[in-house]
Structure 1
Amino acid sequence: MSGVYFYVGLVVLSLLSVSSVVTSDYSLASRRSILRAVKNNDRDYAVDLNATNFDADLKDTPATFAVVEFFAHWSPACRNYKRHYEKVARLFNGPDAAHPGIMLMTRIDCALKMNKNLCDKFSVGRFPMLFWGPPSEVVGVSWEPNQEKSDILIIDDGRTADRFLGWINKRMGSSFNLDDQKFENEQHLSSNVSDPRQIARAIYDVEETTSIAFDIILEHKMIKQETHASLLKFLQLLVAHHPSKRCRRGTAELLVSFEQRYPTDFWPADKQEDDMVPLRGSQICGEGVPHGYWMFCRGSKYETRGFSEN
């Protein structure tokens, strides 16, 4: 039973760590502020990139997908479209993102001379133009009209925020809504956080820790009759307060079937081992998690984590 409490404590410490990370004041010179305050306290959620940081920022993001808007600041069409783009960006970027860590939404101003070659690489012929793809595919490649076998797609139905999000939902098989809000129990987080990538990395590590902790609990056969009640309460805690929406969803699904898998009134010796495989296969924080590497928790030595010695 003490083993369960140890790994439960591991996840709890990770939850506390992410709260500490996202409420810190990121004032280091090497960290750029991604969100900038404008008149009337309006906030831009899309990340402004340019030719000097385009590759580095896309390589650095833990997000699965990236959207790049090529625009010109002098274009009336781009000025009118900005509010639509920002409505969608709000869902994925920033401290109040309803779905953080899934998609990084960026933009490039092609009216700036420094970005000319970058815009030419993507054959930008009108404004705005929106491209979608995995960040690793967007970096270091070019795009041509009617190009075959490319993971980079042009978003051809994003005239309004509704149609843009509809395109994303169709592509991802998701059901995102423009009215989606951050989980209500996350509203206590500080509103002065300005770097959505910091938040995404912190949540990424908590998802990694949560998945590994559950695998350890299952691998060491720690779900027993005497630990049943404490683990059940822990699952309820994660459903209510875990910072990752994917982990909350996965834990809720596990919680629904937990009594069926591990009933309190019937506990044969082989019950735990029989159910261990399907429970591990449920992927508590979503498909592909754990990934096997860390962001903030990466150690100074290869394959280490935390504060390892140099």
Structure 2
Amino acid sequence: MSRTLLVLIVCLSALRFGTSLGSRSILRTVADKNGDSEDYAIDLNATNFDAVFRDAPATFAVVEFFAHWCPACRNYKPHYERVARLFNGPNAVHPGKVLMTRVDCALKMNTNLCDKFSVGHFPMLFWGPPSNFVSGSWNPKEEKSEIRNIDDGRTAEKLLNWMNKQMGSSYGLDDQTFENEHLSSNISDPGQIARAVYDVEEATSTAFDIILERKMIKSETRAPLIKFLQLLVVHHPSVRCRRGSAEILVNFDELSLADMKQEEVASEKGAVKNFQICGKDVPRGYWIFCRGSKNDTRGFSCGLWVLLHSLSVRIEDGESQFAFTAICDFIRNFFVCEECRQHFHEMCSSVYSPFNKARDFALWLWRAHNKVNERLLKEEESMGTADPKFPKMIWPPPQLCSSCYRSHSSKQIKWDENVVHKFLTNYYGKMLVSLYKSNSSLGNVVVDGALDELATSTNAVAVPVGAALAIALASCAFGVLACYWRSQQKSRKPRRSSELKFCEGYDSTEVK
């Protein structure tokens, strides 16, 4: 058995195990029953209880233990849902704050779970950080528990008042989605970036949706997209986005619909929609770190910038020029804001020497972002379109990295670029994925043999010997499968000369 197939079998076996683990997708699920009403609270059971709370992006959680046969529980449900509407679902008014859940103790499968929390009456509500519910329990005699019994939540008003007291907030039952003028700026809190991994997932999914919806995959854009996907397979901070990027590479030919006849396009339309780069359940409009205080600010553009910075600090020296060309070509071919695209292309075109060090590329992208912020700051001030809570600024601000500044005047800033690079690496690298890695059983796995084989077969990423490229095990599986699958395809059908072959390699085109 070849080395490639052996690695593939091992990886796919692990992938089946990984997919049985908890998924964050359930956190945003809102079921529409018969089209009449929406349930915002998440129904949990003994099989997914720990996994959901382990992956929860929320700061706090509420668990309602109830019994479906209990009349009081049925009467209480509308009250609970009025509060859950504020915090759960893709259109949550206050996302990322509280995860509202429920457990039906009348089901036999939940008996032991309800016993662990000493449920003695229905409904019974508990409050605490999500992590404390993982393998957690509650005992009324225990005085110093992070999980608290909510003893005054019998109506929606009382429940929300109780929660407001715990959070120091003033949320109301009539709060509506956006405008979020009350939203506080997070620029002085370095820990906030840890939650941006969820925004990076959404930005990646949104970008790929735009590419598919606008049918932007053409003969001249195939190579730039494949290059960018290869970069995501290795370095995307999200495990499931790495896995999805690799799966798309495997099925890349099915996405090229530009040359199909109209009836063929129609027949393939449903299949194309099934390609979801970060998973089918990534929501829309659920920005946490990148949420603006107005409807039309931040969001997607912020998430995309965070993704690019994350990629820039995760690559190795031998990949710096490839990453530069992949990102520049991706923005030039697939970013639909024309003015932004042109400005970014101009900055890329002004680079005449190849990047030999990852540090140099990370700092170039940082400088480019600050140039964009300077330009937009002046435009937004003159037009009155700035987000009042999140105006454009030079990054990082002194609140986050005072040592990044050698000197700071109104006309000029002198940076300590060594300190800046250290900040960028920590902020967009370690801190960005810290929350995600701690909650993911696949995030820290490195399979050296599969990695070497994937890198060699693509001939696109120059990987230094021993480089710590943390490919998730699932991504490894799809990556190896990509090369094996395409090697088999060469004997099945002819290829167009203009078509880029994923496993045959190609030369990176430098931006002059």
Q: Note if 1:169 corresponds to 2:312.
A: no
Check whether the contact 2:91–2:285 (CA below 8 A) recurs between aligned residues. Answer: no
Distance in 2, Cα, partners of 1:183 & 1:226: 26
One-letter amino acid matched to 2:140: P
Q: Contact between 2:377 and 2:393, CA under 8 Å: does it hold in 1?
A: no
Q: Is the 8 A contact 2:309 2:366 kept in 1?
A: no
Could you say which residue in structure 2 is the equivalent of 1:180? 175
Give 1:38 deviation, angstroms. Answer: 2.3
- Structure 2 length-normalised TM: 0.39
Specify the SS of the correspondent of 1:43.
strand
CA contact under 8 A between 2:90 and 2:286: conserved in structure 1? no
Deviations 1:155-214 (A, max 9, x none): 1111111111111111011221111222269xxx9xxxxx99843997358677666879
Structure 2 equivalent of residue 144 of structure 1 = 139
2:287 aligned residue (194, 203, 209): 203
Structure 1 vs Structure 2 CA RMSD: 4.9
Output the CA distance in 2 between the equivalents of 1:208 and 1:299. Answer: 23
Corresponding position of 2:59: 64
State the partner residue of 1:110.
105
Structure 1 counterpart of 2:412, from 244, 252, 269 = 269
1:227 and 1:119 map into 2 onto residues whose CA distance is 52
Instruction: Measure the CA separation in 1 of the matches of 2:280 and 2:73.
Output: 23
Q: Who is 2:391 aligned against?
A: 255
Paired residue for 2:29, among 26, 31, 34? 34
Equivalent position to 1:129, from 124, 135, 160: 124
State the match for 1:243 in structure 2: none
Q: 1:214 to 1:119 in 2, by over 3 A?
A: same
> Would the alpha carbon gap of residues 228 and 97 (structure 1) be closer, same or farther in structure 2, given more than 3 Å must change?
same
- For structure 2, list consecutive stretches of 5 or more residues without a partner in the other structure: 1-22, 181-205, 207-278, 291-301, 311-361, 398-408, 424-430, 447-468, 481-512
The structure 1 segments of at least 4 consecutive aligned residues displaced by more than 4 Å after TM superposition are 30-33, 204-227, 231-237, 270-273, 293-296, 298-305, 307-310
SS of the counterpart of 1:74?
coil
The superposition leaves residues 37-68 of structure 1 with CA deviations (integer Å, 9 ceiling, x where unpaired) of 22461011111111121112221222222110
Gaps of at least 5 residues in structure 1 are: 1-29, 190-194, 241-250, 281-288
Which residue identity does 1:252 align to in structure 2? P
| Greater helix share, structure number | 2
Q: How many residues align?
A: 249
| Alignment match of 1:81 (pick from 48, 52, 76) | 76
Asked if structure 1 preserves the Cα contact closer than 8 Å seen for 2:62 and 2:100, the reply is: yes
Tell me the TM-score normalized by structure 1.
0.61
Note if contact 2:66-2:103 (Cα within 8 Å) is conserved in structure 1. yes
Q: Aligned to 1:56, what secondary structure does the other structure show?
A: helix
Decide which structure has the larger Cα Rg and report it.
2
Contact 1:65 1:104 in 2 (8 A): yes
Contact 1:101 1:201 in 2 (8 A): no
| Larger RCO, structure (CA 8 Å, separation 6 or more) | 1
SS of aligned partner of 2:31: coil
Inter-CA distance 77–254: structure 2 relative to 1 (3 Å threshold): same
Q: Deviation digits for residues 115-173 of structure 1, max 9, x if unmatched? A: 11111110011111100111111111221103122110111111111111111111011
- 1:284 aligned partner: none
Aligned counterparts of 1:210 and 1:270: Cα–Cα separation in 2: 22
Sequence identity (%)? 47
Paired residue type of 1:268:
K
Q: Measure the CA separation in 1 of the matches of 2:307 and 2:101.
A: 32
Does 1:229 pair with 2:375?
yes
Q: Deviations over 1:221-241 (max 9, x none)?
A: 66878962334557999x87x
